[in-house]
Amino acid sequence: MLYTGKGGVGKTTTAAAASVCAARRGRRTLVVSADAAHSLGDVLGDRLGATPVEVESGLDALELDARVETRRHWGRVQEFLRSLFRHQGIESVVADELAMLPGAEEFATLLAVEQYARGGTYDLIVVDCAPSDATLRLATLPEVLHGMARLALPALRALAGVSAPILQRLVSAPLPASGVFADVESLLYDKLAGLRRRISDPTTSVRLVVTPERMVIDEARRTYTELALFEVPCDAVVMNRTLTREAGREPFFSDWMRVQERHLREVKSAFAPLPVLTSPLQREEVVGVDRLARLGERIFADHEPDAVLCGGSRVRFERDGMDYVVRLPLPGARAEALDVAKLDGNLVVTTRARRRALKLPRSIAQLALLQARVDDAVLIVRFGVLRGAAAEST
């Protein structure tokens, strides 16, 4: 279960409360901080490190050090890149910077979480993510990398097969040490396949944490759409810092109470069918396992913290007479803000900030894109044979 949302909304608190609650209800739980600005240890009131520490019976916690994980997985690759950049006369500081591959930290974080998920020691793994944009990068990375690997792997395999002396005659730059190709191949091929399976596993889900505030809700709506674009499932929204009726009776808070009720109604309809759990504003900061447990019991009064509360819907390919129709659920998407095209056998969908290339089955890849529209939160793209004037002009 990955908890995300805008900065400061209460992701760490909610993730920690869910974890303590799950552990006290008998689930062997691991809570992982994947946000480089770790505050999970402060919230739990424990010193955490890069390996799991027992916080209380049934609950372990750890703060991943993305740089250490990156070195562990990409070490040889980075070393090669550094030597390549230095050879080109690039200063060593800059070479170090360049050797930080984009997405490498997110990739390493996912690999570490995956390792615990496979280990079978835990019933539930809760991930306290960095704010929304980083979570999007994290959750969509396996899919994005898969697209890149499809292009890069054949070239890589061919290069790996050429003997070093021959290659060295062709290029003057330093060659990667033996093993670099194998490292890249194993990361991009075997491990990536495992991560893609994990992200699309029906027990994996993202939870969006919001507060009753306009900007926070708007950002969560965009995150929800963009996660859906990559078929990363969300199963619940947690509205944090809601005022209790008791607090709402204070004259100072009466306007806030009305605003909150309006936002709550809006969130319920904008994120339907996701359930909206509420996490009341506490009288004091929520630190230490006992306060977290109390908050967790409020949030999960009617649910289990490890249960997926709403099934994600995936892309469907359907035949319709002579045509094929692709249906991609895209909650919150507006047709005018989407760009849809067919490119090299892929359906390419672009939103405000993200693009997904969805590989089309062969039967559809040879057809033309006839029409794209958004209907009831689903992007519907029709493929078929061009007829009449359109066919003649192509």
Ligand X SMILES: Nc1ncnc2c1ncn2[C@@H]1O[C@H](COP(=O)(O)OP(=O)(O)OP(=O)(O)O)[C@@H](O)[C@H]1O
Q: Which is nearer to ligand X, 282 or 350 (CB)?
A: 282
What gap in Å lies between CA 271 and CA 220, rounded to an integer? 9
Residue 117 interaction partner, one of ligand X, Mg ion, none, beta carbon < 5-8 Å per kind: none
Site string for Mg ion, 10-49 (x = CB under 5 A): -xx-------------------------------------
Which positions ≥6 away from 283 have C-beta within 8 Å? none
Residue choice 223, 240, 260, 351 for contact with ligand X (CB under 6 A): 240
Q: Which two tokens stand for residue 92?
A: 């060593």
Q: Which is nearer to ligand X, 7 or 345 (CB)?
A: 7
Maximum CA extent, the chain: 81
Residue 6 DSSP one-character state: S
Of 360, 233, 330, nearest in space to 339 by CA: 330
Residue list 9-48, contact with ligand X (CB under 6 A): 9-13, 35, 39
Q: Which is nearer to ligand X, 147 or 280 (CB)?
A: 280
Site string for ligand X, 296-335 (x = CB under 6 A): ----------------------------------------
Q: Which two tokens stand for residue 327?
A: 């249906």
**Interacting stretch for ligand X, rule CB under 6 A, among 81-89, 282-290, 310-318, 377-385?**
282-290
Tokens 């969006």 belong to 208
Of 289, 277, 129, 284, nearest in space to 210 by CA: 277
Residue 9 interaction partner, one of ligand X, Mg ion, none, beta carbon < 5-8 Å per kind: ligand X
Helices (H), the chain: 11-24, 40-44, 66-87, 92-98, 104-119, 132-161, 164-170, 180-185, 192-199, 214-229, 245-248, 254-270, 289-299, 362-365, 388-393
Residue 4 interaction partner, one of ligand X, Mg ion, none, beta carbon < 5-8 Å per kind: none
Q: Which is nearer to Mg ion, 11 or 191 (CB)?
A: 11
Residues in the interface with ligand X (CB under 6 A) total 17
Q: Which two tokens stand for residue 7?
A: 């900065």
- Residue 78, interface with Mg ion (CB under 5 A)? no
In the complex, minimum distance from the CB of residue 39 to ligand X, in angstroms, rounded to a whole number: 5
Q: Which two tokens stand for residue 355?
A: 């693009």
Q: Which is nearer to ligand X, 3 or 324 (CB)?
A: 3
CB 25 within 8 A of CB 60: no
Residue 285 interaction partner, one of ligand X, Mg ion, none, beta carbon < 5-8 Å per kind: ligand X
The residues binding ligand X (CB under 6 A) are 7-13, 35, 39, 131, 240-241, 279, 281-282, 285-286
